[in-house]
Amino acid sequence: MSTLPAPEPQAQALADVTGIDDRAVAHGRSTKSVYVYEAPVRIWHWVNAAAITVLCLTGYFIGKPLPTLPGEASAHFLMGYIRFAHFTAGYILAVGLLGRAYWAVVGNHHARELFWLPVLQKAYWAEVRTMLRWYGFLIPRPGRYVGHNPLARLAMFSGFLMLTVFMVVTGMALYGEGAGPASWQSRLFGWVIPLMGQSQDVHTWHRMGMWGLVMFITLHVYAAIREDIMGRQSIVSTMISGRRTFKD
């Protein structure tokens, strides 16, 4: 009874490499990429993330200052620097939001998703329920969306946009107190303080808004990384390259 000769080690290694190459080619053919986010949207996203980080850190210490530093008070300007960083980041956030609104008008249709919701469409709410089931580990695979999925869109509109507008308005009202009644901040946003009761009430709601942003960012980062791993589509890298990649 004759047997086939065993393959040479070099031939076997070549066959293994060829098999790996074939699988890589097949995987590459199954990967689809779509251009989604234009450069101004991506730049705004990361600048906005940096500004909110500075605002949260400095805002925390403005509401709960550090203990008294040793030495002469005239030798320290720590809280002054913290307030300056807070005000600077606040202006960056406000100006960036205006620029983002402008790009929603002149950019592609994905740039407009942040500013409106199709609340009158039953299909939209059906997809929101589907995504809630996906995030609750109740279904094996979500739908495929080139832009934000319906639940993420709802979260971005209500948990980010509306809250950020609230923070800008209340922050400008508080800033106007220090700038004086003749300042443009006081003239444009001074009505906020009597509307909400008094200055301390605005401080309290402004600080609660900060914690709301912290919770939103925590969920946002978790959902983005989770979708990258389980959803088989790029999320984090999409906000760097602008291209959404579907991996199946």
Please check whether residue 21 lies inside any domain of the structure: no
pTM value is 0.82
pLDDT score recorded for residue 15? 44
Please check whether residue 105 lies inside any domain of the structure: yes
**Distance of alpha carbon 220 from alpha carbon 200, whole angstroms:** 30
Give the range of the structural domain holding residue 118, as residue numbers without chain letter.
36-67+75-243
Rg, C-alpha atoms of the chain: 26
**pLDDT, tens only, 171-194:** 999 999 989 999 999 999 999 999
What burial letters (b/e) apply to 98-136, b meaning 16+ CB within 10 Å?
eebeebbeebeebbebbeebeeeeeeeeebbebbeebbe
Q: How many domains does the chain have?
A: 1
Q: Which of 211, 206, 243 is nearest to 110 (CA)?
A: 243
Q: Which CATH number does the domain housing residue 84 bear?
A: 1.20.950.20
As a residue count, the chain comes to: 248
Please check whether residue 28 lies inside any domain of the structure: no
Please check whether residue 29 lies inside any domain of the structure: no
pLDDT above 70 for 149? yes
3-state SS, residue 244: strand
Please check whether residue 182 lies inside any domain of the structure: yes
Please check whether residue 8 lies inside any domain of the structure: no
Please check whether residue 10 lies inside any domain of the structure: no
**pLDDT, tens only, 103-140:** 999 999 999 999 999 999 999 999 999 999 999 999 98
Please check whether residue 27 lies inside any domain of the structure: no
**pLDDT, tens only, 59-96:** 999 998 877 777 776 677 888 899 999 999 999 999 99
